[in-house]
Amino acid sequence: MSELSDEWRSKELRIAFVPTMGYLHAGHTSLMQIAQSNGDIVVSSIFVNPIQFAPHEDLDKYPRDLARDQKMAEQAGTVVLFVPSEKEMYHQDFQTFINVEEITRGLCGRSRPGHFRGVTTVVAKLFNIVKPHCAVFGQKDAQQVAVIRMMIRDLNYAIELIVGPIVREPDGLAMSSRNAYLSAQERQDALVLFKSLEHARKLVQNGERNSHVVVAEMEKIVNSVDSSRIDYIEIVDNRTLLPLDSIHDGTLLALAVYIGKTRLIDNCIINLP
Ligand code: AMP
């Protein structure tokens, strides 16, 4: 992988990179298409990164289908699909980690301690191997975007960060590899994430600016189905991820909700005139 990248770079070809954990869906392929229009060569990776999962999380049952992924990635313009093994990525004596500090403490970081340390470590390694000019991440993982943005700045990576919009199912559910875990009833119940965001957006459009009021309204919608358990619903600054009492242009509304045993996340950014 690294030698290919050196060769492309020597020919002044622009490398656009899309890291994923596989089990691809239209959210992933949309990022590959964005990569295609931002570079000469699209490199995508599939690596289910063990160090970003806590021991009780779903590493072992994370869905995988490499044959299908290869076809989808190719159709979406991926030239090289980089699929390293765990052994190649982590030497048995591996002991170097990247930790972005403050903005990994809240939101998903609160219930998943160590998760972002695993993400930034693997993304740093992938950046070093793939040597991209730009990298495309999905807005679906809003905190991940903020954390990677910070890492790129703080560690002087000469990589342009491009953020792709959230791709949704026709009924609004944000696409996620983890949607495969949902039963038919849970799949229906999972719509409360999107519905609560849409309701919040309407409240704000109609003039509501108080974060606490909006969060309380979102909680009501999420709690209206039996299978849901709120991990967090928060209104924060989109860059610093610090909580905001009042909503303004660019504010991030983010939530994580268990539907049955499956933890789902979704978010939206408020646009005000
Ligand atoms: P994952 O395979 O879940 O680690 O995701 C790989 C990349 O795809 C990340 O940058 C995600 O934010 C992005 N992604 C996942 N789901 C979506 C979606 N529904 N829409 C847009 N991007 C997504």
What pLDDT, in 10s, does the model give residues 83-141? Answer: 999 999 999 999 999 999 999 999 999 999 999 999 999 999 999 999 999 999 999 99
Give the largest Cα separation in the chain, rounded: 57
- pLDDT tens digits, one per residue of 142-168: 999 999 999 999 999 999 999 999 999
Of 167, 178, 179, 128, nearest to 151 (Cα)? 128
Query: What's the rounded Cα separation, in Å, for the pair 14 and 33?
Result: 15
How far does the centroid of ligand 1 lie from the alpha carbon of residue 84, in Å? 19
Model confidence at 273, in pLDDT bands (50, 70, 90)? confident
- In this structure, the strands spanning 80-82 and 134-138 are unpaired
CA of residue 207 to ligand 1 center, whole Å = 32
Q: Which atom of ligand 1 is nearest to the CA of 21?
A: 2
CB-based contact 246:213 (threshold 8 Å): no
Pocket test for ligand 1, best of 134, 140, 163, 171 (most atoms within 8 A of CB): 140
Does pTM top 0.75 for this prediction?
yes
* Atom 13 in ligand 1: residue holding the nearest Cα: 138
Residues touching ligand 1 (Cβ under 6 Å) are 20-21, 27-28, 30-31, 137-138, 140-141, 164, 166-167, 174-177
Q: Is 214 left (phi over 0), alpha (psi -120 to 50) or beta?
A: alpha
- Alpha carbon of 249 to ligand 1 centroid (Å): 24
Q: Which tens digit of pLDDT belongs to each residue from 227-262?
A: 999 999 999 999 999 999 999 999 999 999 999 999
Which mutation among 21, 31, 33, 151 tests ligand 1's pocket best, with the greatest number of atoms within 8 A of CB? Answer: 31
Give yes or no: 28 in active site.
yes
Q: What is the pLDDT of residue 15?
A: 99
